[in-house]
Structure 1
């Protein structure tokens, strides 16, 4: 083990971290460009075959960047897409980014270090970095933006230069070290462990923008919100946000086990879609019938149709979402895990003045507001399992097969779980059980 890594694991002070040499290479979960065709004609694109864990070269740091020693990360579905090389190989993103020249050229490599969630320690700062210092405990936001593009200053998510870090860029978070722009950093909430903190930002901030931000559904006090996949990473945070904002969450899950977990999250209405025959491909007529069954059940439980449908499932649910929201209601979508091509009856949209809102990740202000809610203890992590970095491919496979709930964490440099807490008083006030509602006891 190199001196810098040893110092980080030992919790060394900033001056010792600054003295230790940066290693020439590091351990990372990564893809190789020569593997991009390995799943051609294969039905089960098993990410354990493509996601490798091994050493990669340490990149040079740009003036506006920081090098973070990654204590923990987590699995997001974008890493599953990357490892499946779908809908296209992410090496295409890296090649396109590299064509911009300058520092961007570093990203165009025959390997791609993936991962978009990170909690860690700053160990180096570029010459242009002002607000961060070696030794700071940080979270890394999942979006990089071009601060020289005018649109960025209205909303970073509508700028042409925004990229998903560790998906459309290289040197991501499923590794011992990661390179990020200083403008991506936020202070780590002191009451969370490394693995808890590393599991929250991408999904929680995406849910925040979808529901709370004026860029999303603009949820208000008393709104009834239909949440598909309500024990997933996005859905479990959506339940918490709706509750915090004074709304009524109606969560839909696919099994009795997930329904029990959803009740532990405090969801007001819990629906097991298997109980009412919702799921899978459906004809237009079947979609309407499924929507009617769901609508009747929601009205039975709360007396009204939902104001908002929170949908990241896509093809399997989108037509129902459009049908079931009330007149003037909103369907907000950020993804399509069951398929990108959606079908719905447009009459129910236009004749009832409904809206469809597309939402992607979150800008830095929205990320900061979400992080504030975690720092206050108003939002809590939704970890269900934690794997070591050596088993990152197994963790990604769990997410690929949808055999997980909440978020799946990955320990990178953290030698064991439970480390990184600097505010034990707040942690004690909140309670460890409340901080881990989806994890099995013990």
Structure 2
């Protein structure tokens, strides 16, 4: 059976070459708001629900993993009617607005591919696939922020509130009455709200954002020691991602959507020069987070995991300056952080609008491994990211370990994809030409 993932990605891989892909997804989980709310708004906005779903993709060829990308999808359900009687624990909660925010965490290659493929094209294909997923896929079964177990659950489930004596009794009952216990647990789950569920009827606004920063490796440890790995300078990386995002805007979004670019430390006229190769017309200087220059950064900038912006906000909290730092100061000071003092260009790219493509794709068991917990998600991903790629053995061993684990644990194999992208289709990839920038605001601009 051909899955949706295979159908979509085959057009982004070289014709007649066979690849395999791992698509790992964690169960959607309710999390705290990614943007800090002012105290005066906490009560009225407390009914908004944020649901986070991590995705990890790893591409293999010739029994070696050669490419990986991790992306987090947030579904933000907004209740704008301020009806304080509604709660997220109702059977049919009502939300009159919704937003899908896709945060690109990391993407990387390791240089061990035996054939030439376009990392740009497969990256674009994976993001296009995520745009195509029906947002309701993330809302059918959501792990709540907090689970309040009823009295009847205490007899069959062990939680952090279960005493040692009761836990031993539960384990004893399970061992002596396994079949009966399983039937009871299943009945309990069906009759109680163990998970949250929601339904979207209206069209959902889609946003995407990423932070570009050059590094020797992002997902494949020690891969920079491979002389065949293609690395990019800060400006090269910015142009690479900008080209991908511009293509997605042209191909997947309506014309009234917008693209935003911010380069901390650079004046607007410099940033605008980066738009010249773009085909989408609505590119402007700035970011998709909103807020005015004198607005407090803490109430505008979202908190993502393993993100320099988030780490800086945490530092401002520790320095007791977070309630004094506005957006203008935030972006100016961000460039002075230690991790940016390498005279390399860093940037924030974002898009916002409505997709013009069909959002009817539902990931299936044929092409997606959906884990039950964060721990299981990290465990499987670590088979790839935990290896060392200073030699080709790392790419080979990670592949063997994943294949063996999937066969043993899930009786599954990796999804096979045969590329259909024409061989004569030339894809322009950036050249790794060093770019020099001090990331300091310039008083005079020469044009």
TM-score by length of 2: 0.24
The normalised TM-score by structure 1 is 0.24
| Bigger Rg over Cα | 2
